[in-house]
Amino acid sequence: MPDMSTNQSVPQFGTLESSSQTAGFCQACRQPISRTFYRVNNSMICGRCADRVRRELPQDSHSAFVRALLFGVAGFALGLVLYAGFAILTGITIGYVSLAVGFIVGKAMLVGSKGAGGRRYQIAAVLLTYAAVSMASIPIAIHYMKSDRVEQPKVQKQAPLEESSVDGVSQGQPSTKTADQPHRQMSPGRALGMLAALGLASPFLELSEGSSGFIGLIILFVGMRFAWRMTAARGGAALEGPFQLPQSASA
């Protein structure tokens, strides 16, 4: 009988010791947790899995934001070419291309930041999307201006003749008044500045066209909203910790 009681007490002590040293299992690797644990969306994980989750989470930093801006500028250029190229090739200016431009800019910034987002990313994405769509009106306008010039007949410009009388007979002589007048040329910087200002204001200037301009402006705002939502802060896993187990559980 004493032997039986001794045999029963040994496994019971071992089971108690094992349960007291561990307060649970890691929800990721299913390994027992003895002292320190972390929480990811209210799930208990061990320190090793917490390090892995921390590496996988997008990290916001100054370098990440700079990369996002560089990629966003590339997306701006691609969106501008897409919008202007579609209008030039098809002869149709459709506002729905603004949605694609917003997606391109937002996606480019996410790739540059490696998934990081936030308010400053959103503001930059919205501005780049608006700039790409509005500035696309400049190459479109230049294209149509060149087309109109080609279609117009070439007329040789001649200087007006001045009436002069020699021995009572009127004769025509070319006037030299226009040649004497100075010709003022606009500086390239000022010309580019005026083009940029007109391009940025073009979505609102198109409101004078009626309902089509109003609808185009609304679609542009929807495209900007695409870029805004895509570059928002990631609301994925939230890592919390480390936490210490109670002394009664870890002793």
User: What are 130-180's pLDDT values in tens digits?
Assistant: 999 999 988 888 888 887 665 555 544 544 544 444 454 445 555 444 444
**Position 75 in a domain:** yes
Q: Do 203 and 240 belong to one domain?
A: no
- What's the structural domain count of the chain? 2
Residue 74 confidence class, pLDDT cut points 50, 70, 90: very high
Report whether pLDDT(65) > 70.
Answer: yes
Q: Is residue 213 part of a domain?
A: yes
Owning domain of residue 104: 62-144+192-230
Q: Is the pLDDT of residue 68 over 80?
A: yes
Tokens of 178: 């226009």
- Give me the mean pLDDT over the 113-125 stretch: 92
Helix axes 137-151, 188-205, angle to 10 degrees: 100
- Specify the higher pLDDT residue, 112 or 171: 112
Q: Do 204 and 96 belong to one domain? A: yes
Q: Which residue has the tokens 């900007």?
A: 224
Integer angstrom CA distances of residue 110 from 57, 66, 125, 216:
13, 12, 10, 26
Return the pLDDT at 19: 40
pTM over 0.75: no
pLDDT for 119: 92
Tell the burial category of 88 from Cβ atoms under 10 Å away from its Cβ (0-12, 13-18, 19+).
middle
Looking at the structure, tell me whether residues 33 and 132 fall in a common domain: no
Same domain, 127 and 205: yes
| DSSP bridge partners of 56 | none
Identify whether 187 is part of a domain.
no
Q: Cβ of 220: how many Cβ atoms within 10 Å?
A: 22
pLDDT value of residue 171 = 52
